[in-house]
């Protein structure tokens, strides 16, 4: 029988980890999870944790949902794999595409499947370039993303990502990518500037950037309705309509990256509904299958889809795709996952339980370490500061956040520290009493960390 010590030693020896300081991993070892149930996960020593981050923003229906396992088993026995190349298809991928387009109320027209959000955003970059070549606009290729935005880690998607850690030593970003200001009023607002005025300024900056680059060279603008990995940044209420208006003025496509916010996270099926976004592309993943299997989708509207289809006829093919695009088992799991979300009212639960989460976290706003509490639905962040009045961050940045994350884990709560912002994104199935327990554990962990800072 493999012991915990052996597992930890072999993990360090043989597996290179994502987003990890490798020397620190060798020194401290991993936390190895053995099983999950509902909102909880259990490590190899049997300790229970509330998974306050849904794994990676993604396990909507909780861990070990038997309906998803059964959906995978049935499809495995029927047709375990087939592709979507060369006019081939399979039943689950067709049904899932129809379902997703239906969930958008017909605003989107077609779906293209990939394995991850990174691949989906890479695909969108290629589609945007393909689209403009089809329209005889070979210079219209630049894409504007945002500082602190997160869109993935493959070469093109990591270029869209506006985080330095995703660029350093990778020779990124690609030259066609530009980054606009992050819509974080707490950090980016000017003294005395209202959130409405801040949104006006960001829209003006976007227009100035498009004019500086040349409207005939700017193809698209991409953003998460609510930023996730950049620190759970909730934009001002008027931000998206104003940014979208600038894009429409200069024929710039709008890409809504709903990898984190899709399928109920904000209390709406899609956050685009909440913020009045009418995208040309949508990126979906994570909660699409609750991450039980890898799957992502690019949704596009008729304006885009018709041009891509016509150009594929002119060229003889659309020369892009993945072996597992529209994988039947992943698609079957996604369909069952969406049924669970709908039948159990998890979008409404995200709004109701989310209201409790937002209230409980905002009760900590007067704590001397808390600079800002922000969030919507079942996604939130608490940003810690060294000086509350001056909004001065800790030095080094991330010092305080790391301490709270460690204390929380000791107290049976898994969170994510984004520098000194503590992120919350529990499964959509979480109940209001469970939110209270989560908040109690966080408040305890904050107090314990405060005594050592």
pLDDT given for residue 327 in this prediction: 98
- Contact yes or no for 433/404 (Cβ under 8 A): no
**Which of 387, 388, 392, 449 has its CA nearest to residue 417?**
449
- Contact yes or no for 412/47 (Cβ under 8 A): yes
**Which residues of the chain register pLDDT less than 70?**
1
Both tokens assigned to 369: 């370490």
Interstrand relation of 48-51 and 413-414 (parallel, antiparallel or unpaired): parallel
pLDDT given for residue 453 in this prediction: 84
Which are the contacts of 6, defined by CB distance < 8 A and separation ≥ 6?
Answer: none
Three-point CA angle 272, 277, 279, nearest 5°: 95
Residues forming beta bridges with residue 423, ordered by sequence position: 381, 416
Q: How many whole angstroms separate alpha carbon 259 and alpha carbon 282? A: 9
Both tokens assigned to 64: 């070990």
Torsion of CA 68, 352, 442, 417, to 10 degrees: 60
- Contact yes or no for 390/417 (Cβ under 8 A): no
Sorted by where each starts, the structural domains of the chain and their CATH numbers stand as 31-61+345-450 (3.90.1150.10), 68-343 (3.40.640.10)
Q: How many whole angstroms separate alpha carbon 302 and alpha carbon 298? A: 13
Interstrand relation of 142-146 and 177-180 (parallel, antiparallel or unpaired): parallel
Three-point CA angle 349, 43, 294, nearest 5°: 60
Which are the contacts of 422, defined by CB distance < 8 A and separation ≥ 6?
Answer: 381, 382, 383, 384, 401, 404, 405, 408, 415, 416, 442
DSSP 153: S
Which are the contacts of 452, defined by CB distance < 8 A and separation ≥ 6?
Answer: 403
Q: How many whole angstroms separate alpha carbon 418 and alpha carbon 157? A: 20
pLDDT tens digits, 225-260: 999 999 999 999 999 999 999 999 999 999 999 999
| 214 dihedral zone (left: phi>0; alpha: psi -120 to 50; beta) | left
Q: How many whole angstroms separate alpha carbon 172 and alpha carbon 174? A: 5
pLDDT given for residue 1 in this prediction: 57
Instruction: Find how far residue 55's CA is from the centre of its chain.
Output: 12
The dihedral of CA 212, 214, 215, 218: what is its sign? negative
Residues forming beta bridges with residue 43, ordered by sequence position: 33
- Full-model pTM: 0.97
Both tokens assigned to 354: 């989310």
Q: How many whole angstroms separate alpha carbon 267 and alpha carbon 377? A: 5
Query: Cα(first)–Cα(last) distance of the chain, in Å?
Result: 42
């Amino acid at each position: 029988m493999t012991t915990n010590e052996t597992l930890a030693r072999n993990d360090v020896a043989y597996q290179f980890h994502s987003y990890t300081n490798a020397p620190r991993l060798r020194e401290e070892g991993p936390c190895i999870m053995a099983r999950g149930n509902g909102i909880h996960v259990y490590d190899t020593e049997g300790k229970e944790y509330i998974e306050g981050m849904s794994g990676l923003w993604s396990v909507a229906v909780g861990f070990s949902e038997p309906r998803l396992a059964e959906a995978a088993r049935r499809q495995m026995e029927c047709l375990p794999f087939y592709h979507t190349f060369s006019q081939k298809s399979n039943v689950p991928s067709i049904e899932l595409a129809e379902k997703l387009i239906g969930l958008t109320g017909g605003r989107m027209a077609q779906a293209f499947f990939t394995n991850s959000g990174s691949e989906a955003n890479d695909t969108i970059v290629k589609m945007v370039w393909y689209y403009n070549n089809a329209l005889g606009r070979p210079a219209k290729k630049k894409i504007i993303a945002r500082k602190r935005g997160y869109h993935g880690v493959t070469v093109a998607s990591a270029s869209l990502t506006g985080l330095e850690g995703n660029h350093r030593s990778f020779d990124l970003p690609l030259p066609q990518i530009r980054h606009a200001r992050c819509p974080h009023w707490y950090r980016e607002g000017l003294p005395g500037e209202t959130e409405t005025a801040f949104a006006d300024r960001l829209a003006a900056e976007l227009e100035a950037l498009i004019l500086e680059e040349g409207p005939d060279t700017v193809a698209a603008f991409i953003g998460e309705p609510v930023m996730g990995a950049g620190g759970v940044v909730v934009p001002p209420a008027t931000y998206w309509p104003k940014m979208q208006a600038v894009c429409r003025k200069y024929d710039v496509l709008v890409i809504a990256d709903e990898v984190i916010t899709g399928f109920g996270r904000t209390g709406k099926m899609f956050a685009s509904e909440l913020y009045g976004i009418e995208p040309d592309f949508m990126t979906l993943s994570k909660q699409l299958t609750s991450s039980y299997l890898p799957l992502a989708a690019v949704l596009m509207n008729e304006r885009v889809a018709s041009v891509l289809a016509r150009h594929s006829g002119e060229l003889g093919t659309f020369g892009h795709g993945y072996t597992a695009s529209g994988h039947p088992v992943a698609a079957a799991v996604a369909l069952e996952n969406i049924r669970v979300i709908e039948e159990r009212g998890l979008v409404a639960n995200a709004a109701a339980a989310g209201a409790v989460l937002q209230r409980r976290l905002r009760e900590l706003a007067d704590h001397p370490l808390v600079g800002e509490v922000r969030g919507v639905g079942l996604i939130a962040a608490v940003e810690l500061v060294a000086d509350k009045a001056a909004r001065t961050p800790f030095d080094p940045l991330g010092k305080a956040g790391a301490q709270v994350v460690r204390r929380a884990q000791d107290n049976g709560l898994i969170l994510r520290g984004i520098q000194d912002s503590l992120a919350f994104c529990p499964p959509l199935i979480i109940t209001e009493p469970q939110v209270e327990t989560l908040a109690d554990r966080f408040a305890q962990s904050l107090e314990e960390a405060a005594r050592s800072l």
